[in-house]
Amino acid sequence: MLAGFVLRALPLVLWGTSGCIRDECSYRTLARQIVRGHGLKPVEGWLWAPGYPYLLAFFEWIDQAKRLKRLQVGLGVAMVLLVYLVTDRVAGRRAARIAAFLVALHPTLAFFAGTLWTETIYGFLLLAAALAMLWARGGSWVRAVLLGALLGACVLFRGVATYMTPIFLLAVLWPVSEAWAAAWRARWRHLAAVAAVLVLVVAPWSIHASRTYGGFVISDASLGQVMYVSNNDFPVMTYDYGDGILSKRMADTWYDKGRPHCDQSLPAAAWNRCEVAHGLAWIRAHPGDFLRRIPVRLAQFFDPNTFLTRRVRLGKWYALPWWIEELIVLWAAAVSIVVVLGGAIGTWARARGPYGVLVVGITLYYLAVVSALFGLSRFRAPLEPLWIVFLASVLADPRGTWALLRASRTRAVGAVASVLVLLPLLAWYLPSGFPAVWR
Protein backbone atom coordinates (compact mmCIF):
# COMPACT_ATOMS: atom_id res chain seq x y z
CA MET A 1 0.00 0.00 0.00
CA LEU A 2 2.93 2.33 0.67
CA ALA A 3 4.37 1.52 -2.76
CA GLY A 4 0.98 2.19 -4.33
CA PHE A 5 0.69 5.52 -2.54
CA VAL A 6 4.13 6.70 -3.67
CA LEU A 7 3.48 5.75 -7.29
CA ARG A 8 0.12 7.54 -7.35
CA ALA A 9 1.17 10.64 -5.42
CA LEU A 10 4.47 11.25 -7.21
CA PRO A 11 2.97 12.70 -10.45
CA LEU A 12 0.82 15.11 -8.42
CA VAL A 13 3.88 16.26 -6.50
CA LEU A 14 6.01 16.71 -9.63
CA TRP A 15 3.46 18.18 -12.05
CA GLY A 16 0.62 19.40 -9.86
CA THR A 17 -3.10 18.99 -10.50
CA SER A 18 -3.68 21.56 -13.25
CA GLY A 19 -4.55 20.93 -16.87
CA CYS A 20 -7.23 18.79 -18.49
CA ILE A 21 -7.88 16.81 -21.67
CA ARG A 22 -11.26 16.25 -23.37
CA ASP A 23 -13.60 14.55 -20.85
CA GLU A 24 -11.62 15.97 -17.94
CA CYS A 25 -12.42 19.48 -19.20
CA SER A 26 -16.08 18.53 -19.68
CA TYR A 27 -16.32 17.28 -16.11
CA ARG A 28 -14.92 20.59 -14.86
CA THR A 29 -17.43 22.54 -16.93
CA LEU A 30 -20.32 20.39 -15.70
CA ALA A 31 -19.21 20.74 -12.07
CA ARG A 32 -19.01 24.53 -12.30
CA GLN A 33 -22.48 24.70 -13.84
CA ILE A 34 -23.80 22.61 -10.94
CA VAL A 35 -22.14 24.92 -8.40
CA ARG A 36 -23.79 27.91 -10.10
CA GLY A 37 -27.18 26.27 -9.59
CA HIS A 38 -27.85 25.14 -13.15
CA GLY A 39 -27.84 21.41 -12.39
CA LEU A 40 -26.33 18.78 -14.67
CA LYS A 41 -26.55 20.10 -18.22
CA PRO A 42 -26.46 17.91 -21.35
CA VAL A 43 -23.26 18.20 -23.37
CA GLU A 44 -24.04 18.83 -27.04
CA GLY A 45 -27.33 17.01 -26.55
CA TRP A 46 -26.30 14.04 -24.42
CA LEU A 47 -26.54 13.54 -20.67
CA TRP A 48 -23.67 12.19 -18.57
CA ALA A 49 -23.98 9.93 -15.52
CA PRO A 50 -24.32 12.20 -12.47
CA GLY A 51 -21.88 10.66 -9.97
CA TYR A 52 -18.59 12.19 -11.02
CA PRO A 53 -19.85 15.67 -12.02
CA TYR A 54 -21.66 16.09 -8.69
CA LEU A 55 -18.68 14.77 -6.70
CA LEU A 56 -16.38 17.21 -8.48
CA ALA A 57 -18.99 19.95 -7.95
CA PHE A 58 -18.84 19.31 -4.20
CA PHE A 59 -15.08 19.88 -4.20
CA GLU A 60 -15.56 22.97 -6.38
CA TRP A 61 -18.19 24.23 -3.93
CA ILE A 62 -15.79 24.00 -0.97
CA ASP A 63 -13.10 25.57 -3.16
CA GLN A 64 -10.90 22.48 -2.90
CA ALA A 65 -11.24 20.96 -6.38
CA LYS A 66 -7.65 19.71 -6.36
CA ARG A 67 -8.44 17.48 -3.40
CA LEU A 68 -10.57 15.19 -5.53
CA LYS A 69 -7.37 13.81 -7.05
CA ARG A 70 -5.99 13.32 -3.55
CA LEU A 71 -9.14 11.38 -2.69
CA GLN A 72 -8.56 9.25 -5.79
CA VAL A 73 -4.99 8.57 -4.66
CA GLY A 74 -6.45 7.28 -1.40
CA LEU A 75 -8.99 5.12 -3.20
CA GLY A 76 -6.25 3.81 -5.48
CA VAL A 77 -4.30 2.73 -2.41
CA ALA A 78 -7.46 1.19 -0.93
CA MET A 79 -7.80 -0.88 -4.12
CA VAL A 80 -4.51 -2.57 -3.17
CA LEU A 81 -6.15 -3.75 0.05
CA LEU A 82 -9.39 -4.71 -1.70
CA VAL A 83 -7.66 -6.87 -4.31
CA TYR A 84 -5.67 -8.50 -1.51
CA LEU A 85 -8.87 -9.41 0.35
CA VAL A 86 -10.62 -10.67 -2.78
CA THR A 87 -7.67 -12.78 -3.89
CA ASP A 88 -7.19 -14.19 -0.39
CA ARG A 89 -10.77 -15.49 -0.50
CA VAL A 90 -10.48 -16.81 -4.06
CA ALA A 91 -6.90 -18.12 -4.37
CA GLY A 92 -5.14 -17.93 -1.00
CA ARG A 93 -2.65 -15.75 0.85
CA ARG A 94 0.35 -16.17 -1.45
CA ALA A 95 -1.67 -15.14 -4.52
CA ALA A 96 -3.18 -12.26 -2.52
CA ARG A 97 0.26 -10.77 -1.83
CA ILE A 98 1.17 -11.00 -5.51
CA ALA A 99 -2.14 -9.43 -6.57
CA ALA A 100 -1.65 -6.55 -4.13
CA PHE A 101 1.76 -5.68 -5.60
CA LEU A 102 0.49 -6.03 -9.16
CA VAL A 103 -2.22 -3.43 -8.47
CA ALA A 104 0.10 -1.21 -6.42
CA LEU A 105 2.71 -1.08 -9.18
CA HIS A 106 0.28 -0.96 -12.10
CA PRO A 107 1.34 2.19 -14.00
CA THR A 108 -1.96 2.86 -15.76
CA LEU A 109 -4.06 2.45 -12.62
CA ALA A 110 -1.63 4.76 -10.81
CA PHE A 111 -1.88 7.30 -13.62
CA PHE A 112 -5.69 7.51 -13.56
CA ALA A 113 -5.65 8.44 -9.86
CA GLY A 114 -4.18 11.81 -10.82
CA THR A 115 -6.71 12.59 -13.55
CA LEU A 116 -10.30 13.77 -13.74
CA TRP A 117 -11.57 10.58 -15.35
CA THR A 118 -13.87 8.21 -13.49
CA GLU A 119 -11.68 5.11 -13.76
CA THR A 120 -10.25 5.20 -10.24
CA ILE A 121 -13.56 5.72 -8.44
CA TYR A 122 -15.50 3.36 -10.71
CA GLY A 123 -12.75 0.73 -10.48
CA PHE A 124 -12.76 1.04 -6.69
CA LEU A 125 -16.56 0.64 -6.55
CA LEU A 126 -16.50 -2.35 -8.91
CA LEU A 127 -13.79 -4.14 -6.93
CA ALA A 128 -15.52 -3.30 -3.65
CA ALA A 129 -18.77 -4.72 -5.06
CA ALA A 130 -16.96 -7.97 -5.94
CA LEU A 131 -15.68 -8.25 -2.37
CA ALA A 132 -19.12 -7.33 -1.00
CA MET A 133 -20.66 -10.12 -3.10
CA LEU A 134 -18.28 -12.70 -1.60
CA TRP A 135 -18.87 -11.30 1.89
CA ALA A 136 -22.66 -11.24 1.50
CA ARG A 137 -22.77 -14.91 0.52
CA GLY A 138 -21.18 -15.87 3.85
CA GLY A 139 -23.77 -14.31 6.14
CA SER A 140 -27.32 -13.06 6.50
CA TRP A 141 -29.21 -11.02 3.93
CA VAL A 142 -28.31 -7.83 5.81
CA ARG A 143 -24.83 -8.05 4.32
CA ALA A 144 -26.35 -7.75 0.84
CA VAL A 145 -27.36 -4.16 1.65
CA LEU A 146 -23.74 -3.10 1.11
CA LEU A 147 -23.62 -4.83 -2.27
CA GLY A 148 -26.81 -3.08 -3.39
CA ALA A 149 -25.43 0.31 -2.33
CA LEU A 150 -22.14 -0.26 -4.17
CA LEU A 151 -23.92 -1.39 -7.33
CA GLY A 152 -26.13 1.69 -7.16
CA ALA A 153 -23.03 3.87 -6.89
CA CYS A 154 -21.50 2.08 -9.90
CA VAL A 155 -24.61 2.87 -11.94
CA LEU A 156 -24.54 6.54 -10.93
CA PHE A 157 -20.88 6.87 -11.89
CA ARG A 158 -20.97 4.88 -15.15
CA GLY A 159 -24.13 4.13 -17.10
CA VAL A 160 -22.60 0.95 -18.53
CA ALA A 161 -22.87 -0.60 -15.04
CA THR A 162 -26.67 -0.50 -15.22
CA TYR A 163 -26.92 -3.86 -16.95
CA MET A 164 -24.31 -5.68 -14.85
CA THR A 165 -26.69 -6.18 -11.93
CA PRO A 166 -28.02 -9.57 -13.16
CA ILE A 167 -24.42 -10.86 -13.29
CA PHE A 168 -23.90 -9.94 -9.61
CA LEU A 169 -27.24 -11.51 -8.68
CA LEU A 170 -26.28 -14.72 -10.46
CA ALA A 171 -22.97 -14.77 -8.58
CA VAL A 172 -24.79 -14.30 -5.26
CA LEU A 173 -27.08 -17.23 -6.08
CA TRP A 174 -24.44 -19.56 -7.54
CA PRO A 175 -24.45 -22.59 -7.91
CA VAL A 176 -27.54 -23.01 -10.05
CA SER A 177 -27.28 -26.66 -11.10
CA GLU A 178 -28.63 -29.45 -8.89
CA ALA A 179 -28.37 -27.14 -5.87
CA TRP A 180 -30.57 -24.44 -7.43
CA ALA A 181 -33.49 -24.92 -5.02
CA ALA A 182 -31.23 -24.89 -1.98
CA ALA A 183 -29.35 -21.83 -3.21
CA TRP A 184 -32.62 -20.01 -3.85
CA ARG A 185 -33.99 -20.83 -0.38
CA ALA A 186 -30.72 -19.74 1.24
CA ARG A 187 -30.26 -16.49 -0.63
CA TRP A 188 -33.50 -15.16 -2.07
CA ARG A 189 -33.50 -12.53 0.68
CA HIS A 190 -30.00 -11.52 -0.41
CA LEU A 191 -31.25 -10.97 -3.95
CA ALA A 192 -34.23 -8.96 -2.73
CA ALA A 193 -31.99 -6.79 -0.53
CA VAL A 194 -29.54 -6.09 -3.38
CA ALA A 195 -32.35 -5.14 -5.77
CA ALA A 196 -34.20 -3.00 -3.22
CA VAL A 197 -31.16 -1.01 -2.10
CA LEU A 198 -29.98 -0.58 -5.69
CA VAL A 199 -33.34 0.94 -6.61
CA LEU A 200 -33.32 3.19 -3.53
CA VAL A 201 -29.87 4.53 -4.44
CA VAL A 202 -30.58 5.15 -8.11
CA ALA A 203 -34.28 6.07 -8.04
CA PRO A 204 -34.01 9.70 -6.78
CA TRP A 205 -31.74 10.67 -9.64
CA SER A 206 -33.68 8.58 -12.15
CA ILE A 207 -36.98 10.21 -11.22
CA HIS A 208 -35.49 13.69 -11.35
CA ALA A 209 -33.69 13.06 -14.65
CA SER A 210 -36.74 11.46 -16.28
CA ARG A 211 -38.86 14.48 -15.40
CA THR A 212 -36.20 17.00 -16.42
CA TYR A 213 -34.81 15.54 -19.64
CA GLY A 214 -37.92 14.46 -21.52
CA GLY A 215 -38.12 10.69 -21.07
CA PHE A 216 -37.10 7.70 -18.98
CA VAL A 217 -33.52 7.95 -17.71
CA ILE A 218 -31.84 5.51 -15.31
CA SER A 219 -28.37 7.02 -15.01
CA ASP A 220 -27.35 8.73 -18.25
CA ALA A 221 -28.52 9.31 -21.80
CA SER A 222 -25.27 8.80 -23.68
CA LEU A 223 -25.95 5.71 -25.80
CA GLY A 224 -27.07 7.91 -28.69
CA GLN A 225 -23.76 9.79 -28.76
CA VAL A 226 -21.86 6.50 -28.65
CA MET A 227 -24.01 5.23 -31.52
CA TYR A 228 -23.17 8.36 -33.48
CA VAL A 229 -19.38 8.06 -33.11
CA SER A 230 -19.28 4.26 -33.53
CA ASN A 231 -21.83 3.40 -36.23
CA ASN A 232 -21.45 6.15 -38.79
CA ASP A 233 -19.95 6.76 -42.23
CA PHE A 234 -16.55 7.84 -40.93
CA PRO A 235 -13.94 5.25 -39.83
CA VAL A 236 -13.90 3.65 -36.39
CA MET A 237 -13.03 6.32 -33.84
CA THR A 238 -11.05 6.12 -30.62
CA TYR A 239 -8.93 8.46 -28.47
CA ASP A 240 -5.76 6.49 -27.73
CA TYR A 241 -2.37 7.73 -28.83
CA GLY A 242 -1.25 6.67 -32.29
CA ASP A 243 -4.63 5.53 -33.59
CA GLY A 244 -7.11 8.00 -32.16
CA ILE A 245 -8.49 11.52 -32.25
CA LEU A 246 -6.24 13.79 -30.20
CA SER A 247 -7.95 17.16 -30.70
CA LYS A 248 -11.43 18.62 -31.12
CA ARG A 249 -10.45 19.90 -34.57
CA MET A 250 -9.60 16.35 -35.68
CA ALA A 251 -12.88 15.08 -34.27
CA ASP A 252 -14.89 17.77 -36.05
CA THR A 253 -13.17 16.89 -39.33
CA TRP A 254 -14.29 13.29 -38.94
CA TYR A 255 -17.81 14.25 -37.87
CA ASP A 256 -18.21 16.28 -41.07
CA LYS A 257 -18.02 13.01 -43.02
CA GLY A 258 -20.90 11.41 -41.15
CA ARG A 259 -24.64 11.81 -40.91
CA PRO A 260 -26.00 14.96 -39.25
CA HIS A 261 -26.74 14.92 -35.54
CA CYS A 262 -30.33 14.91 -34.38
CA ASP A 263 -31.70 18.27 -33.30
CA GLN A 264 -29.71 19.13 -30.19
CA SER A 265 -32.49 21.39 -28.94
CA LEU A 266 -34.46 18.24 -28.12
CA PRO A 267 -34.59 17.16 -24.47
CA ALA A 268 -31.66 14.86 -23.70
CA ALA A 269 -33.70 11.66 -23.47
CA ALA A 270 -35.52 12.38 -26.74
CA TRP A 271 -32.26 13.30 -28.47
CA ASN A 272 -30.76 10.05 -27.20
CA ARG A 273 -33.63 7.99 -28.62
CA CYS A 274 -33.28 9.77 -31.96
CA GLU A 275 -29.54 9.06 -32.21
CA VAL A 276 -30.00 5.42 -31.18
CA ALA A 277 -32.65 4.99 -33.89
CA HIS A 278 -30.32 6.49 -36.52
CA GLY A 279 -27.48 4.26 -35.36
CA LEU A 280 -29.60 1.13 -35.61
CA ALA A 281 -30.74 2.19 -39.06
CA TRP A 282 -27.09 2.58 -40.11
CA ILE A 283 -26.30 -0.94 -38.87
CA ARG A 284 -29.22 -2.38 -40.83
CA ALA A 285 -28.07 -0.54 -43.95
CA HIS A 286 -24.36 -1.49 -43.52
CA PRO A 287 -24.23 -4.96 -41.89
CA GLY A 288 -20.91 -5.80 -43.52
CA ASP A 289 -19.24 -2.61 -42.29
CA PHE A 290 -20.64 -3.22 -38.82
CA LEU A 291 -19.17 -6.73 -38.65
CA ARG A 292 -15.79 -5.60 -40.02
CA ARG A 293 -15.55 -3.01 -37.26
CA ILE A 294 -15.85 -5.54 -34.45
CA PRO A 295 -12.21 -6.77 -34.49
CA VAL A 296 -11.00 -3.15 -34.80
CA ARG A 297 -13.00 -2.16 -31.72
CA LEU A 298 -11.69 -5.14 -29.79
CA ALA A 299 -8.13 -4.21 -30.78
CA GLN A 300 -8.79 -0.67 -29.51
CA PHE A 301 -10.14 -2.09 -26.23
CA PHE A 302 -7.02 -4.25 -25.76
CA ASP A 303 -4.60 -1.55 -26.97
CA PRO A 304 -1.56 -1.84 -24.63
CA ASN A 305 -0.86 1.87 -25.16
CA THR A 306 -3.11 3.36 -22.51
CA PHE A 307 -3.94 6.99 -21.76
CA LEU A 308 -0.69 7.07 -19.79
CA THR A 309 1.11 6.66 -23.13
CA ARG A 310 -0.84 9.60 -24.51
CA ARG A 311 0.00 11.79 -21.51
CA VAL A 312 3.73 11.07 -21.88
CA ARG A 313 3.84 11.39 -25.68
CA LEU A 314 1.98 14.72 -25.66
CA GLY A 315 4.54 16.17 -23.25
CA LYS A 316 2.14 16.68 -20.36
CA TRP A 317 4.77 15.28 -17.99
CA TYR A 318 7.42 17.80 -18.97
CA ALA A 319 11.16 17.69 -18.21
CA LEU A 320 11.33 13.89 -18.31
CA PRO A 321 14.51 12.52 -19.94
CA TRP A 322 13.69 10.69 -23.16
CA TRP A 323 14.84 7.33 -21.78
CA ILE A 324 12.47 7.60 -18.81
CA GLU A 325 9.61 8.38 -21.19
CA GLU A 326 10.45 5.25 -23.19
CA LEU A 327 10.64 3.14 -20.02
CA ILE A 328 7.24 4.42 -18.83
CA VAL A 329 5.57 3.65 -22.16
CA LEU A 330 7.24 0.23 -22.33
CA TRP A 331 6.32 -0.52 -18.71
CA ALA A 332 2.66 0.42 -19.26
CA ALA A 333 2.41 -1.67 -22.43
CA ALA A 334 4.15 -4.68 -20.88
CA VAL A 335 1.88 -4.65 -17.82
CA SER A 336 -1.21 -4.43 -20.03
CA ILE A 337 -0.09 -7.44 -22.07
CA VAL A 338 0.81 -9.53 -19.03
CA VAL A 339 -2.46 -8.76 -17.25
CA VAL A 340 -4.60 -9.56 -20.30
CA LEU A 341 -2.80 -12.77 -21.31
CA GLY A 342 -2.08 -14.00 -17.78
CA GLY A 343 -5.56 -13.12 -16.64
CA ALA A 344 -7.10 -15.03 -19.55
CA ILE A 345 -5.03 -18.15 -18.83
CA GLY A 346 -5.75 -17.92 -15.11
CA THR A 347 -9.46 -17.46 -15.74
CA TRP A 348 -9.65 -20.58 -17.88
CA ALA A 349 -7.68 -22.58 -15.33
CA ARG A 350 -9.16 -21.32 -12.07
CA ALA A 351 -12.44 -19.46 -12.69
CA ARG A 352 -14.88 -21.42 -10.56
CA GLY A 353 -17.54 -20.54 -8.06
CA PRO A 354 -19.26 -17.16 -7.64
CA TYR A 355 -16.19 -15.01 -8.31
CA GLY A 356 -15.46 -16.91 -11.52
CA VAL A 357 -19.06 -16.42 -12.65
CA LEU A 358 -18.82 -12.71 -11.84
CA VAL A 359 -15.56 -12.03 -13.70
CA VAL A 360 -16.45 -14.11 -16.74
CA GLY A 361 -19.91 -12.51 -16.91
CA ILE A 362 -18.59 -8.94 -16.61
CA THR A 363 -15.85 -9.59 -19.17
CA LEU A 364 -18.26 -11.06 -21.71
CA TYR A 365 -20.64 -8.16 -21.12
CA TYR A 366 -17.92 -5.59 -21.78
CA LEU A 367 -16.71 -7.44 -24.87
CA ALA A 368 -20.26 -7.43 -26.26
CA VAL A 369 -20.67 -3.70 -25.58
CA VAL A 370 -17.29 -2.88 -27.14
CA SER A 371 -17.97 -5.06 -30.18
CA ALA A 372 -21.25 -3.32 -30.88
CA LEU A 373 -20.31 0.23 -29.96
CA PHE A 374 -16.91 1.61 -29.08
CA GLY A 375 -13.39 0.45 -28.22
CA LEU A 376 -11.06 2.37 -25.91
CA SER A 377 -8.22 1.28 -23.63
CA ARG A 378 -9.70 3.42 -20.84
CA PHE A 379 -12.69 1.09 -20.62
CA ARG A 380 -10.36 -1.82 -19.79
CA ALA A 381 -8.72 -0.20 -16.77
CA PRO A 382 -11.49 -0.87 -14.17
CA LEU A 383 -11.60 -4.55 -15.20
CA GLU A 384 -7.89 -5.24 -14.83
CA PRO A 385 -7.94 -5.57 -11.01
CA LEU A 386 -10.62 -8.26 -11.43
CA TRP A 387 -8.38 -10.12 -13.91
CA ILE A 388 -5.31 -9.65 -11.72
CA VAL A 389 -6.87 -11.97 -9.14
CA PHE A 390 -6.53 -14.86 -11.61
CA LEU A 391 -3.15 -13.69 -12.93
CA ALA A 392 -1.84 -13.72 -9.36
CA SER A 393 -3.15 -17.26 -8.89
CA VAL A 394 -1.12 -18.32 -11.94
CA LEU A 395 2.03 -16.64 -10.66
CA ALA A 396 1.55 -18.08 -7.16
CA ASP A 397 1.17 -21.64 -8.40
CA PRO A 398 2.21 -22.10 -12.05
CA ARG A 399 2.51 -25.87 -11.73
CA GLY A 400 -0.93 -26.13 -10.22
CA THR A 401 -2.33 -23.98 -13.03
CA TRP A 402 -0.69 -26.24 -15.61
CA ALA A 403 -2.12 -29.31 -13.88
CA LEU A 404 -5.62 -27.82 -13.88
CA LEU A 405 -5.42 -27.07 -17.61
CA ARG A 406 -4.10 -30.55 -18.38
CA ALA A 407 -6.93 -32.09 -16.39
CA SER A 408 -9.61 -30.42 -18.51
CA ARG A 409 -9.37 -30.50 -22.28
CA THR A 410 -12.12 -27.89 -22.58
CA ARG A 411 -10.31 -25.41 -20.35
CA ALA A 412 -6.97 -26.10 -22.04
CA VAL A 413 -8.42 -25.53 -25.51
CA GLY A 414 -10.16 -22.39 -24.27
CA ALA A 415 -6.93 -21.00 -22.82
CA VAL A 416 -4.98 -21.67 -26.02
CA ALA A 417 -7.74 -20.23 -28.20
CA SER A 418 -7.96 -17.10 -26.04
CA VAL A 419 -4.21 -16.51 -26.28
CA LEU A 420 -4.26 -17.01 -30.06
CA VAL A 421 -7.09 -14.48 -30.39
CA LEU A 422 -5.64 -11.97 -27.93
CA LEU A 423 -2.10 -11.91 -29.34
CA PRO A 424 -3.02 -10.22 -32.65
CA LEU A 425 -5.43 -7.87 -30.87
CA LEU A 426 -2.70 -6.82 -28.44
CA ALA A 427 -0.19 -6.42 -31.28
CA TRP A 428 -2.60 -4.44 -33.51
CA TYR A 429 -1.81 -0.97 -32.11
CA LEU A 430 1.26 -1.80 -30.00
CA PRO A 431 3.79 -0.16 -32.41
CA SER A 432 1.85 3.10 -32.43
CA GLY A 433 3.00 3.91 -28.93
CA PHE A 434 6.71 3.86 -29.79
CA PRO A 435 9.02 5.98 -31.99
CA ALA A 436 9.43 4.95 -35.60
CA VAL A 437 12.91 3.64 -34.92
CA TRP A 438 11.43 1.06 -32.51
CA ARG A 439 9.05 -0.21 -35.18
pLDDT tens for residues 197-221? 999 999 999 999 999 999 999 999 9
Residue 423 has pLDDT above 90, yes or no: yes
pLDDT tens for each residue of 46-72 = 899 999 999 999 998 887 777 899 999
> What mean pLDDT is predicted for residues 174-180?
68
pLDDT at site 179: 67
Residue 102 vs residue 263, higher pLDDT:
102
Banded pLDDT at 107 (limits 50, 70, 90): very high
- Residue 167: predicted pLDDT: 96
SS3 track for the chain: CHHHHHHHHHHHHHHCCCCCCCHHHHHHHHHHHHHCCCCCCCECCEECCCHHHHHHHHHHHCCCCCHHHHHHHHHHHHHHHHHHHHHHHHHCHHHHHHHHHHHHCCHHHHHHHCCCCCHHHHHHHHHHHHHHHHHHHCCCHHHHHHHHHHHHHHHHHCHHHHHHHHHHHHHHHCCCCCCHHHHHHHHHHHHHHHHHHHHHHHHHHHHHHHHHCCCCCCCCECHHHHHHHHCCCCCCCCCCCCCCCCCHHHHHHHHCCCCCCCCCCCCHHHHHHHHHHHHHHHHHHCHHHHHHHHHHHHHHHCCCCCHHHHHHHCCCCCCCCHHHHHHHHHHHHHHHHHHHHHHHHHHHHHCCHHHHHHHHHHHHHHHHHHHHCCCCHHHHHHHHHHHHHHHHHHHHCHHHHHHHHHHCHHHHHHHHHHHHHHHHHHHHCHHHHCCHHHC
The more confidently predicted of residues 242 and 326 is 326
Q: Per-residue pLDDT averaged across 99-121, rounded?
A: 96
Average pLDDT for 110-132: 96
Bridge partners (DSSP) of residue 46 are 43
Q: Residue 437's pLDDT is what?
A: 58
pLDDT digits (tens, 9 = 90+) for 222-233: 999 999 999 999
Question: pLDDT per residue over 333-348, tens digit each?
Answer: 999 999 999 999 999 9
Query: pLDDT value at position 236?
Result: 87
Model-level pTM?
0.94
Domain regions of the chain by residue span: 2-438
